[in-house]
């Protein structure tokens, strides 16, 4: 059972259901989705939040092995791991879900209203409502607290009179379910901090002070203003906006939240960019303490906001906020970095509010006997990052601490992996396969094309004239039906398309919407549900390729949209049904890398009953963790590592290959053949169904700060070992200087190594506690003790450790002193140069990508980013997967991260691999290369060009006895990349779904606007 239907809970439910378990998804509100539907866009990619989450919503809603129970809460849990009895209370909806068709007539006529909490109280909603436009389930509910009929002795009731489906049920009552489950996953999510009305921030007092969540709804196409940004006081566009960071977090004085909420810096940057794109001339200033851009590509996003959008950043704490002279303006008081008092006027102020655990989640944890931290999050170990204090109950998402969407998704998968390991003996005992209707034969029919144009709120319709586009699409050859949809990816729209395909006898579909990269699988399933071949589909990307890049050219964007739709119609007209290749799955995994990440993945998969080959290039297991001493919370790494190594060697399902490297690999998801070479030079071929890349990273060897030239300058890992052995310079040392961001966050490596700040502060605290008189300095650019790590930062300052900020253009200078090292730095408080005599200088050096990553990327045909780390399929939705099916990534191979995040991601990779390995067979993509024997002359140019070794050369004998050569393509190895088609000089090979005829038809359509 999964409690909580946000992004983490949905991911956990989907992974368990795909691995062969039946899942109850219990959600306290009327629809799943959590807080994510409230956001307009995500960072650092600026993807539409609803477009990202919609496929998961729909997949959960129609998954045969997931039962969603909304308006529900857990009342009682009894039993032990593997055998829990859970009592769930389901509150009345007063709407019959089986009858409700979500037509909205009830809401249109309802006279009672209340503040819409989904829109952050920026507007009203009716007593009968749906949570948000794409809600799953898309069923109305009645708010009994304001419904006139339910509160005034059966007055009103007009919604019942107008409902065409007779779905209103005022007699609805509480239902109680007794569920027997083997494991429970807690994913109750978070709530945004709400500033008190009498606080220094002016919220609730001044109309032009809004929270970031309110701004998010204002900017959203489905929000109360339709995406238009104006000041609440006078409905005029703002000319200047201030963002105030750390409102409701990192603050023991004005709220109870001492921790850092981790996401506020980044969402403030994102919202500032969104505002600049909407109002290019607006002046935006972000007031911050530390800019915590610690995720993958976050620093690049931060830099881009300054260079491309001219967003200003001021490091300070706001003293007070009061009305300005201009009507509706706001005056900020603060001290700048030079120590001078500054006053500045703004038209609007946005409060970047933090995340906190709702009281309902605390009550839930108490009922289940789950321990909670002082910061009101689930108490977890860094070594078991999704396991609660009660066996059999796991936790994920923001309940484990503030986190971004990728970490929430990873956590959901990790919790699913742990639950699957616990319940592995019961796999597939209660599940059922999805049944699709018999496919309708359409190959010989004259095309009957349906075109569905998505408005995507205002993402598309705010730029493109959708009405004109739809009218134009109706004139294209073969098009018999055109529809406009608010959100084509919504569950009700998917069902609507399915019904229309049947009712109007459509046999080919064009969807003009967003990226097929994220949404094509969703629409394919819709076609299958309607009984037509899933490949009789074409998507015209009128969002990413049009409305987003031509936002200031609406007329040109509309014409381009017509071009894209016309090309899509021309291509799909010639499309034929395609059928995937079905192949058996080898229930064995290959894990490359024997560090903590690789061992964690291997142990989980082995615990689920799969065999694992664990390949490690060195002579021992452990990887980079061999050089670590403790986690951020003080847990002992060497002891844990020893236990992990022992478990791996004792596990009979794991075969360890030490001093071994991967040299070659062929095959596909479900059936790989990988060649490994041992230290003796002997080669071996391993057959496996899934591949996990856990090849780790390496530390940066400093070239700056006199490292290697002055004996008293050491790297942080070296310092750990010296400290462990109480080396003389440390034992007798009275002054220590830590320097942060050595080798990272510069032009060569514009990323944060994520764990350095925490490590330095931990080391400084230990030194200070050993000898309180020691003088300890930390020279930093940003302190990034995100989440609950903020407590150790506060502890360090209370102990008297001195933090001095420096900028990249004014780095510290180190020279050799009389008794150690002399550090020169500009003090940002004193505003003067400062010289520090240090017995030891410790450099917090960067984490780099593993040089072996390039070889592995070439062997498995995987992408690397510009920093040399493996590039996942999608930063938000698929953070452990590649676009190449059956291969997964985890740990430092993906991006620098601390131990607990590596372990969580490794469990997530195991969950994804288990979903594949648990199947007897899988279907490979039907888009592959085919040979045309009429034109192929066996020139073999394509053989050398094929990156997947899918093509071989055959010698055949024709009917006249003559011999000639022709190529043969293995459809299981072919990935449909099209290189062979591009290099063939005689049209002897083509890609299904991308034939020469189809490509020419698209080109002709593009060149003939009048056709």
- Which candidate, 698, 626, 663, places its Cα nearest to that of 850? 698
**pLDDT band at residue 217 using 50, 70 and 90 as cut-offs:** very high
3-state secondary structure 133-181: CCCECCCCEECCCCCHHHHCCCCCCHHHHHCCCCCECCCCCCEEEEEEE
Q: Region 186-191: what's the mean pLDDT?
A: 96
In this predicted structure, what is the pLDDT of residue 446? 86
In this predicted structure, what is the pLDDT of residue 464? 94
Which H or E element spans position 508? Answer: strand 508-513
- Between CA 966 and CA 978 the distance in angstroms is 18
Q: Are 530 and 498 in contact (CB under 8 A)?
A: yes
pLDDT averaged over the chain? Answer: 93
In this predicted structure, what is the pLDDT of residue 758? 97
The DSSP call for residue 325 is S
- Between CA 760 and CA 980 the distance in angstroms is 53
Which H or E element spans position 1002? Answer: helix 996-1007
SS3 label, residue 105: helix
Which H or E element spans position 766? Answer: helix 756-770
Tokens of 749: 């490596």
In this predicted structure, what is the pLDDT of residue 730? 94
322's CB contacts (< 8 A; 6+ apart) are 202, 330, 331, 333
Q: Region 805-834: what's the mean pLDDT?
A: 89
Express each pLDDT in 370-384 by its tens digit: 999 999 999 999 999
- Phi-psi region at 36: left, alpha or beta (left = phi > 0; alpha = psi -120 to 50): alpha
Express each pLDDT in 481-526 by its tens digit: 999 988 888 878 888 999 999 999 999 999 999 888 878 888 999 9
Give the angle 401-407-409 at the CA atoms, nearest 5°.
115
Burial tier of 172 (Cβ tally within 10 Å: 0-12, 13-18, 19+): middle
Long-range contacts of residues 577-580, Cβ cutoff 8 Å, at least 24 apart:
577/439, 577/442, 577/443, 577/533, 577/535, 577/536, 578/533, 578/535, 578/926, 578/927, 578/992, 578/993, 579/533, 579/926, 580/923, 580/924, 580/925, 580/926
**pLDDT band at residue 555 using 50, 70 and 90 as cut-offs:** very high
Res. 552: pLDDT tops 90: no
| pTM as predicted | 0.91
Among the ranges 134-138, 202-206, 209-213, 319-323, which has the highest mean pLDDT value?
209-213
Q: Spell out a b/e string for 264-279, using b for 16 or more CB atoms within 10 Å of the CB, else e.
A: bbbbbbbbbbbbbeeb
**pLDDT band at residue 1009 using 50, 70 and 90 as cut-offs:** low
- Which candidate, 339, 350, 361, places its Cα nearest to that of 246? 350
Q: Region 651-680: what's the mean pLDDT?
A: 95
Distances (CA, A) of 778 to 314, 765, 818, 833, 983: 21, 11, 22, 16, 58
DSSP 49-70: HHHHHHHHHHHHHH-TTEEEE-
In this predicted structure, what is the pLDDT of residue 38? 92
In this predicted structure, what is the pLDDT of residue 1010? 54
Q: Are 923 and 582 in contact (CB under 8 A)?
A: yes
Q: Region 398-423: what's the mean pLDDT?
A: 97
**pLDDT band at residue 47 using 50, 70 and 90 as cut-offs:** confident
Res. 993: pLDDT tops 60: yes
In this predicted structure, what is the pLDDT of residue 111? 94
In this predicted structure, what is the pLDDT of residue 431? 86
Q: Are 840 and 814 in contact (CB under 8 A)?
A: no
206's CB contacts (< 8 A; 6+ apart) are 321, 323, 330, 349
In this predicted structure, what is the pLDDT of residue 286? 97
- Between CA 404 and CA 754 the distance in angstroms is 14
In this predicted structure, what is the pLDDT of residue 959? 65
**pLDDT band at residue 444 using 50, 70 and 90 as cut-offs:** low
Distances (CA, A) of 476 to 289, 445, 500: 57, 17, 19
Q: Region 772-792: what's the mean pLDDT?
A: 96
Burial tier of 496 (Cβ tally within 10 Å: 0-12, 13-18, 19+): middle
Express each pLDDT in 266-315 by its tens digit: 999 999 999 999 999 999 999 999 999 999 999 999 999 999 999 999 99
Q: Spell out a b/e string for 648-683, using b for 16 or more CB atoms within 10 Å of the CB, else e.
A: beebebbebbeebbbeebbbbbbbbebebbeeeeee
Express each pLDDT in 827-861 by its tens digit: 877 778 999 999 999 999 999 999 999 999 999 99
- Which candidate, 774, 755, 749, places its Cα nearest to that of 764? 774
Res. 337: pLDDT tops 80: no
3-state secondary structure 953-964: EEEEECCCCCEE
- Which candidate, 445, 468, 519, 510, places its Cα nearest to that of 1002? 510
- Which candidate, 593, 581, 582, places its Cα nearest to that of 691? 593
End-to-end CA distance of the chain: 55
Express each pLDDT in 866-920 by its tens digit: 999 999 999 998 999 998 899 999 999 999 999 999 999 999 999 999 999 999 9
Res. 670: pLDDT tops 70: yes
Which H or E element spans position 270? Answer: helix 264-278
Q: Are 321 and 198 in contact (CB under 8 A)?
A: no
3-class SS shares of the chain: helix, strand, coil, % to 5: 30, 25, 45
**pLDDT band at residue 803 using 50, 70 and 90 as cut-offs:** very high
**5-9, 299-303, 687-691, 949-953: the lowest-pLDDT one:** 949-953
Res. 35: pLDDT tops 60: yes
Q: Region 398-406: what's the mean pLDDT?
A: 95
Residue entry with tokens 């960072």 = 43
Q: Spell out a b/e string for 774-784, using b for 16 or more CB atoms within 10 Å of the CB, else e.
A: bbbbbbbbbbb
């Amino acid at each position: 059972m999964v409690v909580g239907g946000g992004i983490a809970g949905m991911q956990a439910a989907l992974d368990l259901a795909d691995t062969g378990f039946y899942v109850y998804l219990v959600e306290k509100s009327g629809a799943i989705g959590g807080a994510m539907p409230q956001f307009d866009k995500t960072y650092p990619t600026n993807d539409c939040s609803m477009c990202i989450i919609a496929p998961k919503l729909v997949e959960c809603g129609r998954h045969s092995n997931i039962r969603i129970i909304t308006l529900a809460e857990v009342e009682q849990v009894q039993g032990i791991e593997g055998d829990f009895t859970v009592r769930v209370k389901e509150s009345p909806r007063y709407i019959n879900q089986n009858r409700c068709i979500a037509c909205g007539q009830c809401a249109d006529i309802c006279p009672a209203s209340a503040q819409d909490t989904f829109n952050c109280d920026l507007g009203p909603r009716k007593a009968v409502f749906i949570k948000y436009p794409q809600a799953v389930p898309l069923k109305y509910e009645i708010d009994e607290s304001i419904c006139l009929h339910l509160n005034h002795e059966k007055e009103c009731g007009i919604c019942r009179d107008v409902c065409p489906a007779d779905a209103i049920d005022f007699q609805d009552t509480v239902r109680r379910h007794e569920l027997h489950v083997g494991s429970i996953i807690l994913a109750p999510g978070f709530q945004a901090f709400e500033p008190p009305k009498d606080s220094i921030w002016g919220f609730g007092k001044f109309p032009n002070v809004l929270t970031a969540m309110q701004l998010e709804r204002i900017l959203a196409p489905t929000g109360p203003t339709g995406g238009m940004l104006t000041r609440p006081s006078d409905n005029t566009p703002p000319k200047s906006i201030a963002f105030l960071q750390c409102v409701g977090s990192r603050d023991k004085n004005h709220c109870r939240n001492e921790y850092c909420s981790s996401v506020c810096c980044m969402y403030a940057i994102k919202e500032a960019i969104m505002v600049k794109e909407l109002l290019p001339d607006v002046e935006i200033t972000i007031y911050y303490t530390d800019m915590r851009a610690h995720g993958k590509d976050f620093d690049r996003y931060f830099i881009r906001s300054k260079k491309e959008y001219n967003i200003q950043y001021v490091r300070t704490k706001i003293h007070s906020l009061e009305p300005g002279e201009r009507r509706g303006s706001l005056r900020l008081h603060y001290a700048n970095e030079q120590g001078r008092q500054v006053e500045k006027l703004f038209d609007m102020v946005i409060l970047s509010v933090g995340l906190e655990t709702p009281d309902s989640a605390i009550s839930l944890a108490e009922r289940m006997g789950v321990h909670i931290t002082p910061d009101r999050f689930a108490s977890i170990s860094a070594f078991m990052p999704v396991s609660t204090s009660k066996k059999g109950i796991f936790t994920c998402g923001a309940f484990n601490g503030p986190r971004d969407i990728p970490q929430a998704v990873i956590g959901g998968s990790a919790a699913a992996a742990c639950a699957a390991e616990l319940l592995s003996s019961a796999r597939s005992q209660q599940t059922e396969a999805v049944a699709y209707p018999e496919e309708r034969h359409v190959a010989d029919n004259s095309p009957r094309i349906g075109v569905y144009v998505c408005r995507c709120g205002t993402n598309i319709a705010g730029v493109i004239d959708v009405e004109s586009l739809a009218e134009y699409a109706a004139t294209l050859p073969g098009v018999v039906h055109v529809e406009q949809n608010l959100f084509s990816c919504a569950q009700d729209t998917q069902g609507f398309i399915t019904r229309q395909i049947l009712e109007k006898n459509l046999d080919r579909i064009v969807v003009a919407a967003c990226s097929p990269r994220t949404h094509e699988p969703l629409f394919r399933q819709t076609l299958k549900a309607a009984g037509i071949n899933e490949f009789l589909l074409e998507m015209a990307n009128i969002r990413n390729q049009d409305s987003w890049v031509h936002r200031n050219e609406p007329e040109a964007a509309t014409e381009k949209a017509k071009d894209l739709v016309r090309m899509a119609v021309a291509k799909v007209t010639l499309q034929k049904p395609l059928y995937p290749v079905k192949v058996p799955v080898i229930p064995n995994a290959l894990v490359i890398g024997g560090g903590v990440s690789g061992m964690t993945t291997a142990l989980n998969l082995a615990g689920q009953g799969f065999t694992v080959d664990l390949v490690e290039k060195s002579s021992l297991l452990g990887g980079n963790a061999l050089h670590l001493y403790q986690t951020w919370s003080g847990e002992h790494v060497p002891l844990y590592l020893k236990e992990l190594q022992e478990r791996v060697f004792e596990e009979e399902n794991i075969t360890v290959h030490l001093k071994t490297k991967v040299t070659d690999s062929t095959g596909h998801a479900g059936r790989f053949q990988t060649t490994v070479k041992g230290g003796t030079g002997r080669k071996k071929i391993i057959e496996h169904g899934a591949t996990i890349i856990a090849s780790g990273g390496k530390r940066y060897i400093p070239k700056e700060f006199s490292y290697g030239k002055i004996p008293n300058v050491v790297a942080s890992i070296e310092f750990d070992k010296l400290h462990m052995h109480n080396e003389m310079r440390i034992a007798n040392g009275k002054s220590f200087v830590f320097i942060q961001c050595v080798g990272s966050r510069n032009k060569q490596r514009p990323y944060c190594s994520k764990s350095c700040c925490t490590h330095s502060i931990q080391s400084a605290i230990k030194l200070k506690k050993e000898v309180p008189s020691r003088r300890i300095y930390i020279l930093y650019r940003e302190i990034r003790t995100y989440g609950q790590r903020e407590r150790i930062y506060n502890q360090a300052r209370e102990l008297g450790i001195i933090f001095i900020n420096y900028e990249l253009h004014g780095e510290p200078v180190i020279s050799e002193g009389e008794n150690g090292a002399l550090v020169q730095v500009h003090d940002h408080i004193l505003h003067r140069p400062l010289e520090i005599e240090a017995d030891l200088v410790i450099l917090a050096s960067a984490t780099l990508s593993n040089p072996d990553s390039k070889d592995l990327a070439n062997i498995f045909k995987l992408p690397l980013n510009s920093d040399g780390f493996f590039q996942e399929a999608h930063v938000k939705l698929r953070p452990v997967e590649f676009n190449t099916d059956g291969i997964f990534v985890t740990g430092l191979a993906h991006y620098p991260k601390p131990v607990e995040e590596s372990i969580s991601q490794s469990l997530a990779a195991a969950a994804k691999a288990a979903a594949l390995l648990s199947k007897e067979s899988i279907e490979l993509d039907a888009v592959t290369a085919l040979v045309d024997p009429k034109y192929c002359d066996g020139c073999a140019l394509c053989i050398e060009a094929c990156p997947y070794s899918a093509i071989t050369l055959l010698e055949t004998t024709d009917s006249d006895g003559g011999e000639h050569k022709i190529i043969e393509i293995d459809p299981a190895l072919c990935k449909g990349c099209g290189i062979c088609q591009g290099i063939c000089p005689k049209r002897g090979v083509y890609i299904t779904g991308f034939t020469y005829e189809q490509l020419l038809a698209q080109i002709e359509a593009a060149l003939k606007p009048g056709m």
